[in-house]
Amino acid sequence: MTASFELSNHLPLIAILRGVKPDEVINVANILVAEGFTIIEVPLNSPDALTSIKLLVEEFGDRYLIGAGTVTTSVLAEQVIATGANLVVTPNLNEQVMKLAVDAGCATFPGVVTPSEAFKALELGATGLKLFPISMVGQEGFKALKSVLPPSALCFPVGGIEPSVDSMKPYVDIGAVGFGLGSALYKAGMSNEEIRNNAQAYVSSFKSC
């Protein structure tokens, strides 16, 4: 499976549901899906994250990219893959995690900052590069990195991206194909209306870019 195949039918915005609980995860996901989201990750430092991921896989796994974030060890990767997830997102570049995820056919987004990490991730079969935290890279750093990466490399800035054209367009102009969206999209305790409004703002802003 190639990266273009994996992402061709998806809105390239990764919804990061940090802190979501199993008894609310389907409701939150339904709100996001209704607004156009098709890529959803539950970070493993969320309460009972594997249960939430299993529930999402059962509900949406045949249509969307569903899986885990903050996958930092091979043991965690194996646990995530066992849920039936098809998405693995990491904050760092771990070769064992990458190999397990790629071999399982998962869309894989490792966290990278440097050119060495980025090229290694692509060599290992990354679907896309999670530029995290983007605040460390910045627009100038991203521009320099993008200038040496293969044109086919799919870059996703993550960390502090706001639901506005002003926040997203500078990175899109440089070559970002999508974004990972965290607490400005969802955080524990938000109302359904807040989540819906945030989702609408992100989708609208991204399409305007």
Q: Which residues are catalytic?
A: 41, 130
Number of C-beta neighbours around residue 78 at 10 A: 15
What letter represents residue 135's amino acid? S
